[in-house]
């Protein structure tokens, strides 16, 4: 599979690897509605706890030293994002006859997230990422608006790993045409994902307001994923806050 040209390759320091629930009054136990499907807070907590428990068990299972395992980097909003992303992206992929590979590389995905490969969160995250990658390869190219290039710069700058003193104009001029084309394709995929999210009438519990659907991701310092193009579930029309019984 041909890999998309990464935006960070020319300008980021070496640490970047580049290339409805009104105040929960109606249903405080529901994390999100996806159409008629309810995602309970208990389900989100279960997936979060599963990732935490299996991560803690990794050193012993792998014969590592008795040093305490680092806590998982996944958060509860991350879990909500993974659940919703998997549902929404699967619908977009089905409409375009895009399918998952015969084998999902859970070991590799888990390692990239510093999580156990058999954690349910890893499967949910991995499935949506693989489908989005396939959708990206098939997407129509386009010229990204300046605001979206600026957003990418802001994300990279927030890591503290940009070349010292690099300005936005220097960043933009050093990004290759191929990388800009990749960004344009990612923005076209975002439109499809946003449209599907709108159609599914998503409703998100405000306590998970940081949830989003990451459409295009590159790895940053310490291999931490950086969401360069995403559909916000906090302030989009698709995720308006309402009461729903």
For position 241, what pLDDT does the model report?
42
Cα distance between residue 145 and residue 150, in whole Å: 9
Nearest by Cα to 191 from 180, 199, 201? 199
Look up the pTM and report it.
Answer: 0.79
Q: Which pLDDT value is given to residue 6?
A: 57
Alpha carbon distance 27, 200 (integer Å)? 19
Q: What is the pLDDT along the chain (245 residues), one digit of tens a residue?
A: 444 555 554 333 323 333 344 433 347 899 999 988 999 999 999 999 999 999 888 665 555 554 555 555 799 999 999 999 999 999 999 999 999 988 899 999 998 888 999 999 999 999 999 999 999 999 998 899 999 999 999 999 998 888 889 999 999 999 999 999 999 999 999 999 999 999 998 889 998 877 899 999 998 877 778 999 999 887 544 444 434 44
Tokens found for residue 55: 């991560």
Residue 125, pLDDT score:
96
- For 141-156, write each residue's pLDDT tens digit: 889 999 999 999 999 9
Give CA torsion, residues 170, 171, 175, 180, to 10 deg. Answer: -120
Structure confidence at residue 172 (pLDDT) = 94
Report residue 84 CA to chain centroid gap.
Answer: 10
Express each pLDDT in 145-194 by its tens digit: 999 999 999 999 998 888 889 999 999 999 999 999 999 999 999 999 99
- CA-to-CA distance for 31 and 79, rounded, in angstroms? 10
pLDDT value, residue 52: 93
Long-range contacts of 220-227 (CB under 8 A, 24+ apart): 220/8, 220/15, 220/16, 220/17, 220/156, 220/159, 220/161, 221/15, 221/16, 221/159, 221/160, 221/161, 222/15, 223/17, 223/112, 223/114, 224/73, 225/112, 225/113, 226/155, 226/156, 226/159, 227/155
């Amino acid at each position: 599979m041909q890999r998309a040209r990464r935006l960070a390759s020319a300008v980021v320091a070496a640490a970047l690897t580049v290339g409805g629930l009104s105040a929960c009054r109606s249903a405080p136990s529901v994390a999100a509605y996806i159409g008629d499907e309810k995602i309970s807070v208990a389900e989100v907590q279960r997936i979060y706890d599963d990732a935490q428990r299996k991560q803690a068990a990794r050193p012993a299972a792998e014969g590592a030293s008795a040093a305490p395992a680092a806590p998982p980097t996944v958060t509860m909003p991350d879990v909500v994002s993974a659940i919703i992303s998997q549902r929404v992206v699967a619908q977009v992929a089905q409409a375009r006859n895009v399918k998952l590979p015969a084998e999902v590389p859970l070991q590799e995905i888990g390692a990239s997230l510093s999580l156990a490969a058999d954690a349910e969160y890893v499967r949910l995250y991995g499935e949506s990422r693989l489908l989005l990658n396939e959708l990206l390869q098939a997407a129509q190219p386009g010229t990204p608006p300046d605001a979206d290039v600026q957003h990418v710069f802001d994300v990279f700058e927030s890591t503290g790993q940009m070349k010292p003193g690099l300005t936005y104009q220097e960043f933009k001029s050093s990004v290759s045409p191929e990388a800009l084309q990749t960004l344009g394709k990612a923005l076209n995929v975002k439109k499809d994902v946003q449209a599907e999210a709108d159609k599914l009438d998503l409703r998100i519990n405000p306590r998970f307001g940081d949830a989003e659907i990451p459409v295009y991701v590159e790895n940053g310092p310490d291999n931490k994923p950086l969401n360069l193009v995403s559909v916000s579930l906090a302030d989009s029309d698709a995720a308006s806050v309402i009461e729903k019984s």
